[in-house]
A = this chain, B = another copy of it.
Amino acid sequence: MAGISDILKRNQLSITDSRKKILDYFLQSDGALAHADIEKMSGDKFDRVTIYRTLQTFVEKGIIHTIPTSDNSVKYALCKDECVAGHHHDDHIHFLCDDCGTTYCLESNVPPVQLPIGFSASRTDVVVSGKCGKCSN
Contact = CB atoms under 8 A, between A and B. Distances in A.
B119 A136 contact: yes
Contacts of A136: 118-120
Given A124-B128, A125-B126, A126-B124, A115 B108 contact: yes
B70 A72 contact: no
B116 A122 contact: no
A79 interface: no
Q: How many copies does the complex hold?
A: 2
A122 B96 CA distance: 10
Contact of A106 (B106, B115, B118, B124): B115
Nearest to A121: B130
Interface centre among A70, A73, A125 (most CB of B within 10 A): A125
Interface centre among A115, A121, A134 (most CB of B within 10 A): A115
A93 B125 CA distance: 10
Nearest to A124: B128
A29 B126 CA distance: 26
Interface of A: 68-70, 72-74, 93, 95, 98, 106-108, 111-134, 136
